[in-house]
Amino acid sequence: MRRVAIIGVGNSKFGRRDDALIQEIAFEAFREALEDAGITQKDIDLSVVGCVGTRVYEALPAVPVNEYLGLIGKGPIRVEAACATGSAAVFSAYNAIASGCVDTAIAIGVEKMLEVDTPTSTAMGGRGGSYLWEFHMFGTSFAGYYALFATAHMAKFGTTEEDLALVAVKNHKYGAMNPKAHFQREIKVEDVLKSRIIAYPLKLYDCCPISDGAAAVILASEDKVKEFRVEDPVWIEAIGFGSDTSNLTRRTDYVGLPAAVQAAQMAYKRARIEPKDVDVAEVHDCFTIAEIMAYEDLGFCKKGEGAKMIREGETYIGGRIPVNIDGGLKAKGHPLAATGCSMMYELTRQLRGEGGRRQAPLKHNIALAHNIGGHGFYAYVTILRR
């Protein structure tokens, strides 16, 4: 395996993007990534476009995206791993370089979700669980699935609706400091508790928004890092992965994601680090309960103690391990395929010390991204080091 570095990152504005086509939003992230890396299309060997699709008018969006970006001849693949699609795209690009197949590659995660109405977007999500055995009869949705986790976590560990609200409050605080975030407004615990119920016990402010957006990550081999004279490469130390059932009923319990635990342990082992070595993390907070479970699944705390971490402010900047200090999925937004690439965008900038007002203190120069597909069907944990 060859070493692989991130040499350029780009991120479009996330939010309701009725102003742009899918390829135009991809272009925003792509141009920023090229400028950041200081390279052009001719320097890129392989383009991996991640897109969940189904809510955008294009059926095979990678094709027009690659055409629009001037990547003709370089884009033989489109990647999908539900909400972990961005990490799956990075994984594909990483492996192509690590194996020696190519020297440079770009992972582009792009999603348009708001070209259809909310019931349609909700159905496209819910049908992405187990259509036959769960959606067809019971109208499951992703808010509903994570609500099932929340209920079980609350019953087993005494986690409260106020604890969940604290996650939203933290992530909105940082979203308010991120000009690319969907929501740039601070909220209070009472705002969360008073917001309308989406799927008990989750309320509107416990849920990430439905967002449009794109993010891009340019990867290169060590030789290319030298050739391009990249001053601040961020190395991908390890990518751990896991997967699980489409039927939620086939899980042992509903208080964590076994795929995430598997991915985390694989990543820590491959990177030869421990959870305490992580300076800053991005975790998949599609719903507030998901962030609390992520703390536990990643070993930032013991199982059942996730709520204590947010209560004690340990995941704020200045706390033991800052988490989602770009606003997370919750406030920055969650354009499905863009999310994993956007996590790399944020963490790369954090490791370079480009976090500005949101900069996390760096001790070990290690960052971690935790990206989940569905209700834990797919999990990727990526460790970055500068």
Partner 1 sequence: MVEQKPPTIRSRAITLIHEIPIARIKQFWDGLNEGKIYATKCKRCGKLYYPPQVDCFKCMTSDVEWIALSGEGVIETFTESHLKPQGFTHYEKPYIIAIVKTPEEAKVMGWLEDIDIDKVRVGLKVRITTTRKPDGYPAIVFKPST
**β strands within the chain, DSSP E:** 4-11, 46-50, 77-79, 104-111, 197-199, 202-203, 213-221, 234-243, 280-282, 366-373, 378-385
Residue 334 annotated as catalytic: yes
Question: Taking a C-beta distance cutoff of 8 angstroms, is the pair 170, 316 a contact?
Answer: yes
Question: Taking a C-beta distance cutoff of 8 angstroms, is the pair 316, 191 a contact?
Answer: no
Q: Which of 83, 207, 301, 341 is catalytic?
A: 83
Residue with tokens 């119920």: 197
The distance of closest approach from Cβ of residue 297 to partner 1 in the complex, given in angstroms and rounded to an integer, is 17
Residue with tokens 């949705």: 141
Closer of 126 and 376 to partner 1 (Cβ): 126
Closer of 136 and 272 to partner 1 (Cβ): 136
User: How open is the CA angle 213-95-278, to the nearest 5 degrees?
Assistant: 70
**CA–CA separation, 1 vs 306, rounded Å?**
35
DSSP readout, 277-334? G-SEEE---SBHHHHHHHHHHTTSS-TT-HHHHHHTTTTSTTSSS-B-TT-HHHHH--
Closer of 56 and 360 to partner 1 (Cβ): 56
The distance of closest approach from Cβ of residue 194 to partner 1 in the complex, given in angstroms and rounded to an integer, is 15
The distance of closest approach from Cβ of residue 165 to partner 1 in the complex, given in angstroms and rounded to an integer, is 17
Q: Quick one: CA torsion of 113, 116, 118, 123, rounded to 10 degrees?
A: -80
CA distances for 169 relative to 14, 192, 210, angstroms? 19, 8, 18
User: How open is the CA angle 65-86-4, to the nearest 5 degrees?
Assistant: 100
The distance of closest approach from Cβ of residue 55 to partner 1 in the complex, given in angstroms and rounded to an integer, is 11
Radius of gyration of the chain (CA): 19
The distance of closest approach from Cβ of residue 22 to partner 1 in the complex, given in angstroms and rounded to an integer, is 13
The distance of closest approach from Cβ of residue 337 to partner 1 in the complex, given in angstroms and rounded to an integer, is 20
Residue 364 CA to its chain's centroid (Å): 22
Closer of 100 and 139 to partner 1 (Cβ): 139
Closer of 130 and 350 to partner 1 (Cβ): 130
Structure tokens at 130: 């187990």
Q: Which positions touch partner 1 (CB under 8 A)?
A: 18-19, 57, 115, 117, 119-120, 122-123, 125-127, 130, 132-141, 143-144, 147-152, 155, 196-202, 247-250, 253-254
Closer of 225 and 289 to partner 1 (Cβ): 289
Q: Which of 172, 182, 284, 334 is catalytic?
A: 334
Question: Taking a C-beta distance cutoff of 8 angstroms, is the pair 195, 205 a contact?
Answer: yes
- Catalytically active residues are 83, 334
